[in-house]
Amino acid sequence: MPHTTVPLRTFFLHGLKSAFFQRVHVNGLQITPLQLLAILVITTLGSILMGRLVITGPAEFFPKALLWGWLVVLLLLWLCWYLSDHARQRGLKIQAAALFAIGTMQAFIVDILSTLAYITLIQPKGLDGSTWHWSLYIVTTAWSALAFWLLLTRSTQVPTRLILLTGAFALGAPLIVHISEAPMYWLPYEEDSANVQEDLQLTQEKLETQLQLAERQRAAVKPERPGVVDLYSITYAPYGDDEVFLRESSMVNAVIEERFDAAGHMQELVNHPATLESLPWASLENLERAINRAADLMNPDEDVLFIYLTSHGAQDGELAASLWPLQMDALTPQTLSLWLDKAGIKYRVIVVSACYSGSWIAPLQNDNTLIMTAADATHTSFGCGSGSELTFFGRAVFDEALRETYSFEEAFQRALPVIRERERQAGKVDGHSNPQIYVGEHIKPVLRALQQSH
pLDDT digits (tens, 9 = 90+) for 95-141: 889 999 999 999 899 999 989 988 888 777 665 556 777 788 888 88
Q: What is the pTM of this model?
A: 0.59
Judgement on whether residues 419 and 305 belong to the same structural domain of the protein = yes
Looking at residue 339, which CATH number applies to its domain? 3.40.50.1460
Q: Where are the alpha helices (DSSP H) in 298-401?
A: 333-343, 361-364, 392-394
* pLDDT on residue 113: 93
Judgement on whether residues 51 and 13 belong to the same structural domain of the protein = yes
Residue 289: give the domain boundaries: 191-452
Which one is predicted more confidently, 305 or 51? 305
Judgement on whether residues 34 and 56 belong to the same structural domain of the protein = yes
The span from the CA of 376 to the CA of 393, in Å, is 12
Judgement on whether residues 291 and 173 belong to the same structural domain of the protein = no
Residue 194 reports pLDDT greater than 60: no
The most confident of the ranges 203-207, 208-212, 377-381 is 377-381
* pLDDT on residue 196: 41
User: Are residues 121 and 154 in contact, defined by beta-carbon separation less than 8 angstroms?
Assistant: no
Prior bond of 325 cis (ω within 30°): yes
- The number of folded domains in the chain is 2
User: Among 163, 188, 213, where does a domain finish?
Assistant: 188
Judgement on whether residues 180 and 218 belong to the same structural domain of the protein = no
* pLDDT on residue 198: 44
Judgement on whether residues 85 and 181 belong to the same structural domain of the protein = yes
Q: Which of 348, 346, 367, 265 is nearest to 301 (CA)?
A: 346
Confidence of residue 387 (pLDDT cuts 50, 70, 90): low
* pLDDT on residue 192: 44
Confidence of residue 176 (pLDDT cuts 50, 70, 90): low
Confidence of residue 221 (pLDDT cuts 50, 70, 90): very high
User: Among 128, 159, 188, where does a domain finish?
Assistant: 188
Judgement on whether residues 212 and 145 belong to the same structural domain of the protein = no
User: Are residues 403 and 251 in contact, defined by beta-carbon separation less than 8 angstroms?
Assistant: no
Residue 94 reports pLDDT greater than 60: yes
The most confident of the ranges 206-215, 388-397, 406-415 is 406-415
Judgement on whether residues 180 and 231 belong to the same structural domain of the protein = no
Distance between alpha carbon 323 and the CA centroid of its chain, in Å? 19
Confidence of residue 242 (pLDDT cuts 50, 70, 90): confident
The most confident of the ranges 61-65, 322-326, 413-417 is 413-417
Judgement on whether residues 355 and 254 belong to the same structural domain of the protein = yes
Residue 175 reports pLDDT greater than 60: no
Which one is predicted more confidently, 166 or 371? 371
- Report the pLDDT averaged over residues 419-431: 77
* pLDDT on residue 189: 52
* pLDDT on residue 126: 60
User: Are residues 270 and 234 in contact, defined by beta-carbon separation less than 8 angstroms?
Assistant: no
Judgement on whether residues 296 and 442 belong to the same structural domain of the protein = yes
Residue 162 reports pLDDT greater than 70: no
Residue 414 reports pLDDT greater than 90: yes
Judgement on whether residues 313 and 396 belong to the same structural domain of the protein = yes
Confidence of residue 193 (pLDDT cuts 50, 70, 90): very low
Which one is predicted more confidently, 217 or 315? 217
Judgement on whether residues 181 and 226 belong to the same structural domain of the protein = no
Residue 191 reports pLDDT greater than 50: no
Tally of CB atoms within 10 A around 116:
12
- Report the pLDDT averaged over residues 151-169: 72
User: Among 188, 206, 225, where does a domain finish?
Assistant: 188
The most confident of the ranges 127-136, 174-183, 302-311 is 302-311
Collapsing DSSP states into helix, strand and coil, what is residue 230?
A: coil
What lies within 8 Å, CB to CB, of 289 at 6+ separation is: 214, 218
**Per-residue pLDDT reduced to its tens digit, 326-384:** 788 899 999 999 999 999 999 999 999 999 899 999 999 999 999 999 999 888 887 77
Which of 54-63, 257-266, 395-404 bottoms out in mean pLDDT, i.e. has the lowest? 54-63
